[in-house]
Amino acid sequence: MADPMKIRANLVGDSTEVKVLMAHEMETGQRKDAQGKTIPAWHITNVTATHNGKPVLAAQWGPAVAKNPFLSFKFKGGAKGEKVQITWVDNRGDTRTDEATIA
């Protein structure tokens, strides 16, 4: 089971600013270990964000994204107390969903 994300969602003017930290290895599949064996790729492939169940962001990620990724985005609307939900899926089929309340 993957470690939880850190999500912050703040109302700035008429839009919501969301900052997400994800705990993930993001292994590219390009590196070799001490024995010279290729370390298999293991990275997040899809990220989705929903606000009150409605999708506000969908992203496809590849091996170029750094380890323990930080994602920051804004969307129009949102009100204090409402929920923002983030989900990631990686290429091993592992997934994690966390939720934050807009402050």
Partner 1 sequence: MPLRVALVAGLAAMVGTSLAQTSTEEGIAQYREALQGGNPAELWEARGEDLWKQPAGPSKTSLERCDLGLGPGMVKGAYAQLPRYFADADRVMDLETRLVWCRVKLQGMSEADAKKNPFGAGNDHKSDLEALVAYVTSESRGVKMNVPLAHPKEREMYALGQRMFFYRGGTHDFACATCHGDTGKRIRLQDLPNLTTIEGAQKAYTTWPAYRVSQGELRSFEWRLNDCFRQQRFPELAYTSDAAIALTTFLARNANGAAYDGPAIKR
Q: Of all helices (H) and strands (E), which one includes residue 77?
A: none
23 binds partner 1 (CB under 8 A): yes
Cα→Cα distances 74→64, 68, 93, Å:
22, 20, 27
By the rule CB under 8 A, 70 interacts with partner 1: yes
Q: Which of 10, 11, 15, 19 binds partner 1 (CB under 8 A)?
A: 19
Residue 61, classed as helix, strand or coil, is coil
Among 31, 62, 67, 77, binds partner 1 (CB under 8 A): 67
Are the C-beta atoms of residues 102 and 16 closer than 8 Å to each other? yes
Q: Which residues bind partner 1 (CB under 8 A)?
A: 3-4, 6, 19-21, 23, 25, 66-68, 70-72
